[in-house]
A and B are shown apart, each in its own frame.
Chain A
């Protein structure tokens, strides 16, 4: 087992443990032991978070644990990794991209969308969750206002699907097509529907949604 693999396994374990303070202290200690901040971010922190995401994908952990992990990761990033990177004068350590996410108007389902939101966070995205039953203009305005890379729309009901189409039409009609991508998901949504309404990607579930967002970010200029 390489040094980084060992550290990654230890960090994964710590992220899933109860104590929040330990994570930041442990990270500081790792950096003091000679691991560069950039290597820590790329070889330890990011893979450890991906490992936590995989555990959720296999339902070895559940949503409350995923939420706790996302919060610990945020603390590690804000309190230790980012300052260390800045001190070392190197870039990196920032979010993979900014995602605004919501359940569209007429849809009150929250948990599936929250799972996607958290999986994006543990995979390094900055996520702004607008909640449920969000009117199209509110979602679009917020995405524009915060400079989102991606707007994620969830619908679990056929009766709220028309609002996804409305969102895409409004984005394009308002001249925002090049400003951010739109990814859609939810039980009745298919890749064909995504294509039909002109959305940019379809996430089959939380795991696939993360993969698609990563792919979309690779297309960003």
Chain B
């Protein structure tokens, strides 16, 4: 990829940037810089508007994020140095970013293209259990529950809870073995579903470079699958992450780089999360050189991204980036609720509306608080709702989206603190047939009907060419 020509320069700057204590980086650089740019660019959250349609606010936010990225850079924990870039370098990186990418092979391949706010095209739908721990015997049926949904274009996988019955221990041979086993099972599921070329997200929850590199080796995942590299909150990387970046660059594979700021943490409140999303994803383009840049901010107590404050931050953050750059932006739905709850369906619908009309190129669904906390809490319908809604809202105005999201919030916001984990996969699906139970399907159909009543054209058939 053309934007990876600076790989050696990235690695060099991680060895030669200014030395800083890690605690000082977050407290003395990131926090004050975010407060300063919020003030300077007058970024304000107004709870009455969850999906803003204020272009000037989006453009000011972009400038605030760019300034933040220039001021703080990214911190490399392994070298205790900041990886810094000038404004001109960051702008150059944005100017020549990857603005279109093919994911997958053959007839299963899809093309990710840049979208803008209120875009009439449909985003790519990435479905999957996004790292939810799952026992080996359920891995293929769970994967199939997503693969069977035609609305899903690419997959992001669950995490194996064990490998051949043994715990997967970070930084050990078990992590390597689990990566190979994950690839084996994920490819098996894709073949069974008749979608062998579909792009698979790999390796989920690889805590060190070992799993990710093993999963990107011969016999495991393919260069046509999509690899992941994370950012340590806030604005931090390390040798493990840079090893993944380096390896994926050299095998020419797709890479999703993600950054999940913590609401209420060093970045502060809604405004801080919005600025951090913009600054963070600009830096990921520069340092990780991915093809898609994703965010899933996290609420520190509910572990979700569907509160009004975080939805607002994601919506305006995505607008800032898609109005001012050609980056391929994604957001990951992070509901508090789990499978078998209406709460989760409402949350994922709200997330899909708020972020799709804001211009994201890929919608990712989902990694729930329930799934992060409780094994086996994920199912195909969790992603299907996001995909269906993302298709329905193409071309919708942000004003209409705002009204819909507010209505949905009134249906689920009070449930967020109640930890509505729902039920595990094998209680909401018939595992043999890989079909939702009548109860779970019935709940889905009820919510779908409610959404249609609200004015979402979910029953529309024709859609534009991608």
Residue numbers in A under 8 Å from B31 (CB-CB): 63-64
A187 and B371 CA atoms in complex are apart in Å by 9
User: Knowing A115-B300, A187-B303, A206-B300 touch, does A106 contact B170 (C-beta < 8 A)?
Assistant: yes
Partner of A162, one of B169, B208, B232: B169
- Check B167 against A190 for contact (C-beta < 8 Å): no
Which positions in B face A, CB cutoff 8 Å? 22, 27, 31, 77, 133, 159, 161, 167-171, 175, 178, 205, 207-208, 211, 232-234, 238, 240, 262-266, 268-269, 272, 300-301, 303, 369, 372-375
User: Within 8 Å of chain B (Cβ to Cβ): is A163?
Assistant: yes
- Check B269 against A62 for contact (C-beta < 8 Å): yes
- Check A159 against B372 for contact (C-beta < 8 Å): no
User: Knowing A59-B264, A188-B372, A206-B300 touch, does A157 contact B207 (C-beta < 8 A)?
Assistant: yes
Partner of B262, one of A111, A160, A188: A111
Residue numbers in B under 8 Å from A126 (CB-CB): none
Of all chain A residues, the one with the shortest Cβ separation from B232 is A108
Q: Which of A173-203 contact B (CB under 8 A)?
A: 187-188, 190
- Check B168 against A205 for contact (C-beta < 8 Å): no
- With A111-B262, A115-B300, A188-B374 known, 17 other A-B pairs at CB within 8 A are A59-B300, A62-B265, A64-B27, A107-B170, A109-B232, A110-B232, A157-B205, A158-B133, A158-B161, A159-B168, A159-B205, A162-B167, A163-B170, A187-B372, A188-B133, A205-B300, A207-B301
User: Within 8 Å of chain B (Cβ to Cβ): is A52?
Assistant: no
User: Within 8 Å of chain B (Cβ to Cβ): is A67?
Assistant: yes
Residue numbers in A under 8 Å from B207 (CB-CB): 106-108, 157, 159-160
Of all chain B residues, the one with the shortest Cβ separation from A156 is B372
- Check B303 against A158 for contact (C-beta < 8 Å): no
Residue numbers in B under 8 Å from A77 (CB-CB): none
Of all chain B residues, the one with the shortest Cβ separation from A165 is B167
- Check B264 against A63 for contact (C-beta < 8 Å): yes
Of all chain B residues, the one with the shortest Cβ separation from A63 is B265
Q: In the assembled complex, how far is the CB of residue A187 from the closest CB belonging to chain B, in whole angstroms?
A: 5
Residue numbers in B under 8 Å from A112 (CB-CB): 262, 300
Of all chain A residues, the one with the shortest Cβ separation from B167 is A162
A110 and B26 CA atoms in complex are apart in Å by 11
User: Within 8 Å of chain B (Cβ to Cβ): is A105?
Assistant: yes
Q: Residue-by-residue, is A205-221 near B (CB-CB < 8 Å gives 1, otherwise 0)? A: 11100000000000000
Residue numbers in B under 8 Å from A57 (CB-CB): 301
Residue numbers in A under 8 Å from B27 (CB-CB): 64, 67
Q: In the assembled complex, how far is the CB of residue B396 from the closest CB belonging to chain A, in whole angstroms?
A: 31
Q: In the assembled complex, how far is the CB of residue B300 from the closest CB belonging to chain A, in whole angstroms?
A: 6
- Check B167 against A205 for contact (C-beta < 8 Å): no
- Check B374 against A190 for contact (C-beta < 8 Å): yes
Residue numbers in B under 8 Å from A161 (CB-CB): 167
A215 and B169 CA atoms in complex are apart in Å by 31
A220 and B211 CA atoms in complex are apart in Å by 42
- Check B265 against A111 for contact (C-beta < 8 Å): yes
A108 and B375 CA atoms in complex are apart in Å by 21
Between B168, B211, B238, the greatest number of chain A beta carbons within 10 A of the residue's beta carbon is seen for B168
Q: Which of A42-70 contact B (CB under 8 A)?
A: 56-57, 59, 62-64, 67
A62 and B276 CA atoms in complex are apart in Å by 15
Q: Residue-by-residue, is A132-170 near B (CB-CB < 8 Å gives 1, otherwise 0)? A: 000000000000000000000000011111110000000
A162 and B232 CA atoms in complex are apart in Å by 21
Residue numbers in A under 8 Å from B264 (CB-CB): 56, 59, 62-63
- Check B170 against A160 for contact (C-beta < 8 Å): yes
A133 and B250 CA atoms in complex are apart in Å by 28
Q: In the assembled complex, how far is the CB of residue B391 from the closest CB belonging to chain A, in whole angstroms?
A: 31
Between A110, A115, A159, A207, the greatest number of chain B beta carbons within 10 A of the residue's beta carbon is seen for A159
Q: In the assembled complex, how far is the CB of residue B106 from the closest CB belonging to chain A, in whole angstroms?
A: 33
A206 and B159 CA atoms in complex are apart in Å by 26
Residue numbers in B under 8 Å from A206 (CB-CB): 300-301
Between A57, A67, A107, the greatest number of chain B beta carbons within 10 A of the residue's beta carbon is seen for A67
Of all chain B residues, the one with the shortest Cβ separation from A131 is B22
- Sampled A-B contacts (11; CB under 8 Å): A62-B264, A63-B262, A64-B27, A109-B233, A111-B234, A115-B300, A159-B170, A159-B211, A187-B369, A187-B373, A206-B301
- Check A163 against B234 for contact (C-beta < 8 Å): no
Q: In the assembled complex, how far is the CB of residue A19 from the closest CB belonging to chain B, in whole angstroms?
A: 17
Q: In the assembled complex, how far is the CB of residue A46 from the closest CB belonging to chain B, in whole angstroms?
A: 23
- Check A108 against B266 for contact (C-beta < 8 Å): no
- Check B170 against A105 for contact (C-beta < 8 Å): yes
Rank and list the top 3 A-B pairs by shortest CB-CB distance, nearest first: A106-B170, A159-B170, A64-B31
A215 and B208 CA atoms in complex are apart in Å by 35
Partner of B238, one of A63, A108, A131, A205: A108
